[in-house]
Structure 1
Amino acid sequence: MARIRGQAFLATGQAEICAVVSQHLETARVCAAELDCSLYGDDIRYLAAGRPDAVLIETPHKAQDEIAVWALEEDLDLLIGGSLACSLASGTQIAELAAQRGRIVEAGYQRRYDLAWEEIRRLVHSGVLGAPIMAVSMALWSPDPERWYYDQAASGGMPITHMSYCYLNAIRWIMGVPETVTAMANRKVETGPGRVLEETCAACIGFENGAFVSATASYAGPEGMDDAETRFVCSEGGIQVHTDSITVFQQGTAEMRSFKNTCSPFIRQAQAFLQALERREPANNPPEDALLDLQIGAAISLSARENRTVFLREGDRYDR
C-alpha cells in the first residue's frame, strides 16, 4: 500500500517523495527506487533529513501510532493509510495533538474519493431510491498468521484492522449517523495467545434514521471464495456494488453504471490531501470524523465480549 499511495502522489504531478523509511532497510531501498527517491533508511530520523512537508504512514497500527505522534510533534502534516489509530485512546491523542499543532491529518478511507461510491451517496441522499433501509457487506481474507494482522496488540484488533474492508466508514458516510452496535465474534482457526480476539466477526450497526448495516468480516476466508457484493436497499430501489461498476435497481429496472476508466480514488485522495495542505482545511477524513470509526470498532469488540447492544452516545467504556 505504501507503493500504491506513493505512486498516487507522484501521479498528481504536484508532489515528490523525499524520503522512505521502513523497519527493514532492503524494503526501504526497493520502495524508494520505485518512487524515484534517493534517500531511504531504517530509522525514522531519515524522514526529517528529507525535509518533508507531510508524511504518509503505511505500517502496522501500533508502529503507526508512534510515528503519527512523532510527525505531529515535528509539525508535519499526515496522511495515515488506514484507520486513524489502533485504539480510541491513541486516536484521541492524535486528534488532540493535531488540533494543538494546527496540522492537517487525513485517515486513509479512500472510498470517499471513489467516483462509484460518490454516486451511491448522491443516489441515497437525493431520495430518488426512497428512504434507506439497510446495507450489507462482507470481507473475507486469510492472512499469514505470523504477520501483524493476526497480532492483537500490533493490529489493535480485527474490527479496527480488517472490518474497514466491509466499507463501514463509507457506508456510514452514505447512511447517516450511527447510534447502536450489536456484534458476535468467534475464533476457530488461530486460537493461540496473542492472536486477535475476534477472528471472525459480524456486526449490525443502527443509524438514527432507522436504517442499519450488517457487516461480516473474517480471517478464516477459504482460498478462492469471493466476498458477497455490497448492497444498499432503499424503500423504492437499491444499489449493488461491483468491482468497477454499480447496478441501480429502480421501478423494476436494473441499470449498470461503469466506473472502469475513471480516476483512481488513491490519486483523488492524494490530490485532495495536497489541496488541504495548501488551503489549511481538512479533506474528507479528518481526525474528528475518523475517531467515530475507532469508536465503532471498540463498540463491536465490547458488544461481542459482553453479548449486548452498545449505544454509541451513552458513554460506554470501549477500551476496557
Structure 2
Amino acid sequence: MRIGIAGLGTMGRVHAAAYRRMGARLVAAYDADPAVTERFAGEFELEPAPDYESLLRSVDVVDVCTPTFTHLEMAETAFALGVDVILEKPLALTASEGRQIISAARESGRRLFVAMVVRFFPQYRKAAELVRAGELGRVGVMRLKRVAFPPAAGWFRDPARSGGMPVDLMIHDLDYARWVLGQPASVFARRSPALEGSALEHVQAVLEFPNGALALVEGGWAYPPGYFRTSLDIAGDRGLVEWSSDQPPPLQTLFPKDAPPPALGLPMAGLEEDPYELELRHALEALESGAPFEVAPEDALAALELALAVRASADSGKVVEVA
C-alpha cells in the first residue's frame, strides 16, 4: 500500500521514522506550510504534495498527524476520495465530530484506525494481559500517571483547538483504563488552580466502575521543560503489577501471596521494538488482511467521551455519569 503523511510536526516525524524502519511504502508528504513539506520530503525522500487533495490522489492510506481541530475535515476529505485513514489521537475535538468521522468512514466503505499508542507499549500491554489472565485476582484499584511540560505549539494551549490537556494527553490513560477495566460508570475530577491565561494544567480524576473498582488517573502540563513521566500500577486481591518511567526495569510484579515467587527473576517485558512501529505495523497488516483493528473507531470515540467527561467534571466540580 502507498502511504502518505499529512501534518509534518512531531508526530508526523515519529510516524515517518517508524514506517522507514519497518520498510513500509511511504511515498508522499503534505503540510500546510510548503517550506515544511519541502524539507520533510527531502529528508525522508518522499514526493512533496502541493496540497492535501494531491496527496490523497497519490496514496492508498493517509496518516493524518495534523492538529486536532482539523481532524474532521481531513478525515472526511480522505474518505470522500476513497482513501483509508490512520488518524493520530484524539479522534476529534467533540463527540459529535467523532461520530461524524466514524459515519463518514462507514458510508465510504473505507477504514479508520485511531492511533491510541499506549495500548502498544509492551509494559502496559503486559500489565493488561496479567489482569485478563486473572493473575492479579479481582482488581480493586488502578493508578495511572502521565505528566509533562506544556507543549510549545500555540494550538495545544487553546482548548478550543486542542481540547485541553484531558483530551490531548490524559486520553491515553483514560483509554487504557477503559481497555483493561471496561466502561466506567462515573468520573469525578479536580483541576489544580492555575494562573489566568496560563497553559499550565494539572488534573486528577477518579473513575468508578460498575463492579466497584476505581481508577485514579493523573495528568498534567505543569512541569519544567523536558520533564515527562508516566507510571502505572494495578492492584488486585491476589497481586500487584507496577511500572514507572523513573525505574530501570520495564515492569515489576509482586506475585500473589498464596503462590511462591519464581526461582529466578527475569524481565517480563522489554522495549526492543518501538511502540509507534508496533502500532503502525498492526494498522497496516489489518488494512491489508481485512482483520479487525485492536483499537476500533468506537473505542476511540468512547475514550474521547471519557476525556470530555473528565474535563466537564473538573470545570464543574461535580460527578459526571458516563455509563
Same fold (TM over 0.5): yes
Where structure 2 has 5 or more consecutive residues not aligned to the other structure, the ranges are 1-10
Q: Deviations over 1:161-182 (max 9, x none)?
A: 12135x2212321122222111
1:141 aligns with 2:143: no
1:22 to 16, 26, 31: 31
Instruction: Report the 3-state secondary structure (helix = DSSP H, G, I; strand = E; otherwise coil) of the residue aligned with 1:245.
Output: coil
1:266 to 276, 281, 288: 276
Aligned-residue sequence identity (percent) comes to 25
Name the TM-score, length of structure 1 as normaliser: 0.87
Counterpart CA distance in 2 for 1:19 and 1:121 is 36
Name the TM-score, length of structure 2 as normaliser: 0.86
- The one-letter code sitting in structure 2 at the alignment partner of 1:279 is S
Q: Could you tell me which residue of structure 1 aligns to residue 68 of structure 2? A: 61
2:186 to 180, 184, 199: 180
Q: Could you tell me which residue of structure 1 aligns to residue 43 of structure 2? A: 34
Q: Could you tell me which residue of structure 2 aligns to residue 52 of structure 1? A: 59
Number of residues paired by the alignment? 305
Task: Quickly say closer, same or farther: Cα 1:262–1:144, change in 2 above 3 A.
Answer: closer
Q: Deviations over 1:221-244 (max 9, x none)?
A: 245666362211111111112346
Q: Deviations over 1:32-52 (max 9, x none)?
A: 2333213234x2123134x21
Q: Report runs of 4+ in structure 1 exceeding 4 Å deviation.
A: 223-226, 252-256
Q: Quote the offset at 1:276 in angstroms.
A: 1.8
Q: Could you tell me which residue of structure 1 aligns to residue 243 of structure 2? A: 241
Q: Deviations over 1:96-129 (max 9, x none)?
A: 1111112211111122223322221111111121
Query: Contact conserved, 2:37 with 2:48, CA < 8 A, in 1?
Result: no
Counterpart CA distance in 1 for 2:319 and 2:99 is 23
Q: Could you tell me which residue of structure 2 aligns to residue 220 of structure 1? A: 222
Q: Could you tell me which residue of structure 2 aligns to residue 75 of structure 1? A: 82
- The one-letter code sitting in structure 2 at the alignment partner of 1:200 is H
Query: Contact conserved, 1:104 with 1:280, CA < 8 A, in 2?
Result: no
Query: Contact conserved, 1:12 with 1:270, CA < 8 A, in 2?
Result: no
- The one-letter code sitting in structure 1 at the alignment partner of 2:288 is E
Matches within 5 A, 1:1-320: 1-13=11-23, 15-41=24-50, 43-49=51-57, 51-144=58-151, 147-165=154-172, 167-189=173-195, 191-192=196-197, 199-223=201-225, 227=229, 229-243=231-245, 245-251=250-256, 257=267, 259-313=269-323
Instruction: Report the 3-state secondary structure (helix = DSSP H, G, I; strand = E; otherwise coil) of the residue aligned with 1:229.
Output: strand
Task: Quickly say closer, same or farther: Cα 1:132–1:225, change in 2 above 3 A.
Answer: same
- The one-letter code sitting in structure 2 at the alignment partner of 1:175 is L
Q: Could you tell me which residue of structure 1 aligns to residue 5 of structure 2? A: none
Instruction: Report the 3-state secondary structure (helix = DSSP H, G, I; strand = E; otherwise coil) of the residue aligned with 2:207.
Output: strand
Counterpart CA distance in 1 for 2:268 and 2:150 is 31
Task: Quickly say closer, same or farther: Cα 1:289–1:45, change in 2 above 3 A.
Answer: same
Counterpart CA distance in 1 for 2:315 and 2:93 is 18
- The one-letter code sitting in structure 1 at the alignment partner of 2:204 is A
Where structure 1 has 5 or more consecutive residues not aligned to the other structure, the ranges are 314-320
Q: Quote the offset at 1:11 in angstroms.
A: 2.5
Query: Contact conserved, 1:176 with 1:208, CA < 8 A, in 2?
Result: no
Task: Quickly say closer, same or farther: Cα 1:222–1:3, change in 2 above 3 A.
Answer: closer
Query: Contact conserved, 1:137 with 1:214, CA < 8 A, in 2?
Result: yes
Counterpart CA distance in 1 for 2:26 and 2:74 is 17
Q: CA RMSD, aligned part only? A: 2.3
Instruction: Report the 3-state secondary structure (helix = DSSP H, G, I; strand = E; otherwise coil) of the residue aligned with 1:259.
Output: coil
Query: Contact conserved, 2:241 with 2:254, CA < 8 A, in 1?
Result: yes
Query: Contact conserved, 2:235 with 2:241, CA < 8 A, in 1?
Result: yes
Q: Quote the offset at 1:186 in angstroms.
A: 4.2
- The one-letter code sitting in structure 2 at the alignment partner of 1:235 is D
Counterpart CA distance in 2 for 1:279 and 1:78 is 16
Counterpart CA distance in 1 for 2:166 and 2:277 is 26
- The one-letter code sitting in structure 2 at the alignment partner of 1:240 is E
